[in-house]
Amino acid sequence: MCVETLTRCLSYCIRPATATNIIGWVYTILSFLMVVLFGVPAAAPHNELPPQRAYFYTALAASSAVLLLFSLLLLCATHKRVPALMWPWVVWAWAEGAALVALCVVGIVMLPSKYDEDSAMEPYIIAMYFIYATLLIYSGIIVNTHRKDVAQERRERRTRANVKIADEVVTRQAQYTMIQSLSSNTYLV
């Protein structure tokens, strides 16, 4: 509830459609860079990296590739105003954000047990992943808010179109009934 209130408050500064478009472009560029950043070390021979780190880099490169695909889909969905195409990005952003938060918690718990000079940067890396996960989850909330708005607009437009069609049908039926009654009265005279 608090996050939705904050999202609505920020929508006074920037429209959700504009925010979704910006998020789409930022995550398209960011996920492309992450595919390159994690894909190159993952493609290196595994004897240069510890196996756990190589698997981690491979998983992050694959996850970033999927996010890149969904970010491109999000850009198309924002441009065409199709809420169903926004949904994969929202679900993936929330799932990846939750997975990264879980990995951060595991990393924080395991950090004191293996602390040495080689792992001096690990707390900063964990903090960076936590910040990225938080931004990813919050961006998912913003995009989902825009998705709901677009879906509501489409429902309202469809309802107005259905009402207009129903009014036309009723009008034509009334005209047909009036013509029928006039034609039956003509024969009587």
Domain residue spans in the chain?
2-188
- Structural tokens at position 15: 């429209």
Q: What is the pLDDT of residue 186?
A: 55
Sheet strands (E) in the chain: none
- Exposed (0-12), middle (13-18) or buried (19+): which is 88, by Cβ within 10 Å? middle
| N-term to C-term CA, the chain | 72
Statement: the pTM of the whole predicted model exceeds 0.85: no
C-alpha span between 28 and 75 (Å, rounded): 9
C-alpha span between 27 and 78 (Å, rounded): 14
Q: What is the pLDDT of residue 189?
A: 47
Helix 16-43 to helix 51-80 angle (10° resolution) is: 150
C-alpha span between 68 and 74 (Å, rounded): 10
Q: Please name which of 60, 58, 67, 59 lies closest in space to residue 31, comparing C-alpha atoms.
A: 67
pLDDT < 50 regions, the chain = 189
Q: What is the pLDDT of residue 43?
A: 73
- Structural tokens at position 104: 């951060």
